[in-house]
Amino acid sequence: MPSQLDQLKQFTQVVADTGDFASMRQFAPKDATTNPSLILKAAAMPEYGYLVDQALRDAGPATPVGQVIDSLLVLFGLEILKIVPGRVSTEVDARLSFDRDGTVAKAREIIARYAAAGIPRERVLIKIASTWEGIRAAEVLEREGIRCNLTLLFSLPQAVACAEAGVRLISPFVGRILDWHKRNAGRDFAPVEDPGVRSVASIYAYYKQYGYATEVMGASFRNKGEILELAGCDLLTIAPPLLAELAASDEPITRKLSPEHAAKDAPSRRSYDEKAFRFALNEDAMATEKTAEGIRLFSADIVKLETFLEQRRRG
């Protein structure tokens, strides 16, 4: 009997949610995602010190640390693309989450770095927070053929706005939605009733029912049960410990999401201009709080990465 991981790969594209190359080789995902927190963790590991040294060496002593970070992110991405056959997601500085033009400019710089290394833009997804400004930036970039992964996504209004903007892929955060509801309800939730699972299933059904091409990639899982309840989602990005759990079990799994069943599960069709989007997000306390929190956390890790690189540069 094939492992649960191999079974899952039959109808869902499995993505590695890590900056660790060894884990990618072990679990053989098609794509890989990174974020500032993962890169910060990996950069501090001795086995990846050569990439930090290369980024500092290539940049030189007078280069602003922000550009050194861009170089480091791309160096990690280049190594990842030697392992995975598909795409790597590289994140724009979260401090640009409310700056449309700044996000567009930074994304172009990142893509130019990949292009200089011979990587076609089809193999890179630019990760951007799902703010109104981030979605508008992605709309501009998608028209230029720069594909985007809209992250820190917690609600249907964010997902709808992304689809209408022509975004290539979204990453709704299953586990963080669960965290919020557990804290506010004072209880745990079984996977089948998990609010994060239900949110992603609803977004998936909406996209399939109304013919949107935007891919849905469930992210930020807290347990294996959440993953199994979303079997059939376009993509799932999974951290190494949960990949290991899936690989260690050969219990049969059942496909839970499919385009054929979208009609009965899809919310009514809707659309959002800026005012309606901001109001809808404001009405969803969980989505408002978790989006803001995610931006703060990623921004803090960028600052930590800057400090780490400055200390490393000074020796």
8 Å CB contact between 205 and 262: yes
Residue with tokens 């294996």: 224
Distance CA 18, CA 46 (A): 16
Query: How far apart, in Å, are the Cα atoms of 34 and each of 48, 178, 278, 297?
Result: 15, 21, 28, 14
Angle made by CA atoms 19, 41, 45, in degrees to the nearest 5: 90
Active-site positions read 127
